[in-house]
């Protein structure tokens, strides 16, 4: 589905980002794997990617504009153009508002939201007609969080940015969409006890916690030509947990 396409996935050393990178490679894309510090995990992602297609590592903090520019420049110096950009990099520290320090608020918004601006701004010179930009948001962007106001605010802001960018880039025939995952089996829920997992499963109509591959499948659809007439939309991948 993505043969001959070049894709950047931010935050791709593990979890959802890794699953997206692998799914893209399985479908023929050359994948730029961004990571900030965990080289061994990123290298493992690249090794899996190379079982199917090809790719490269892109080390750097996309929350920093200069590093985001360098990441984009390194990628296009190798492959010349960007067909798909997935903004996935993010952090979530689970702090209630009275525990949340200003530094943590600023860090969350820098990594989760400002990074999207940094990467998109620097990548747009290399994304042409038919290009796809995808944001990995969260169910908490839509319903809020009782233990992560900074995270929910950053992911909600991402959706506002996505819709605005969709309007701005429509004349260039570039599609811009988002995915809002529900409870997905990644590091973000690694602290769940057995009881907490069972209670969450009871709440989900499809009766299971999501897998990173569930999000990757939706991302593959949005990155492909099958989604050419979809822009400015958010796909909820949550097993029916928050049917609206």
**Residues noted as catalytic:** 151
Nearest one of 125, 126, 120 to 166, comparing CA atoms: 120
Per residue, the 3-state secondary structure of the chain, as one string, reads CCCCCEEEECCCCCHHHHHHHHHHHHCCCEEEEEECCCHHHHHHHHHHHCCCCEEEEEECCCCCHHHHHHHHHHHHHHHCCCCEEEECCCCCCCCCCCCCCHHHHHHHHHHHHHHHHHHHHHHHHHCCCCCEEEEECCCHHHHCCCCCHHHHHHHHHHHHHHHHHHHHHHHHCCEEEEEEECCECCHHHCCCCHHHHHHHHHHCCCCCCECHHHHHHHHHHHHCHHHCCCCCCEEEECCCCCCC
């Amino acid at each position: 589905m993505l043969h001959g396409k070049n894709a950047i996935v931010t935050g791709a050393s593990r979890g959802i980002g890794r699953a997206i990178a692998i799914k893209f490679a399985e479908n023929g894309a050359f994948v730029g794997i961004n990571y900030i510090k965990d080289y061994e995990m990123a290298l493992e992602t690249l090794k899996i990617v190379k079982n199917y297609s090809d790719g490269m590592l892109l080390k750097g903090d996309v929350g920093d504009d200069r590093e985001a520019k360098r990441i984009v420049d390194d990628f296009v110096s190798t492959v010349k153009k960007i067909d798909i950009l997935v903004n996935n990099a993010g952090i979530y520290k689970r702090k209630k508002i009275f525990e949340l320090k200003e530094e943590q608020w600023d860090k969350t918004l820098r990594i989760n939201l400002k990074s999207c601006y940094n990467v998109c701004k620097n990548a747009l010179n290399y994304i042409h007609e038919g290009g796809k930009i995808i944001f990995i948001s969260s169910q908490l962007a839509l319903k809020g969080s009782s233990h992560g106001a900074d995270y929910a605010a950053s992911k909600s802001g991402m959706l506002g940015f996505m819709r605005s960018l969709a309007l701005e880039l429509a004349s260039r025939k570039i599609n811009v969409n988002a995915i809002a995952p529900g409870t997905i089996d990644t590091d973000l829920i690694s602290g769940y006890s057995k009881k907490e997992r069972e209670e969450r499963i009871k709440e989900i109509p499809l009766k299971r916690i999501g897998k990173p591959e569930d999000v990757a499948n939706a991302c593959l659809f949005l990155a492909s030509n099958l989604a050419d007439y979809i822009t400015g939309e958010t796909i909820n991948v949550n097993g029916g947990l928050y049917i609206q």
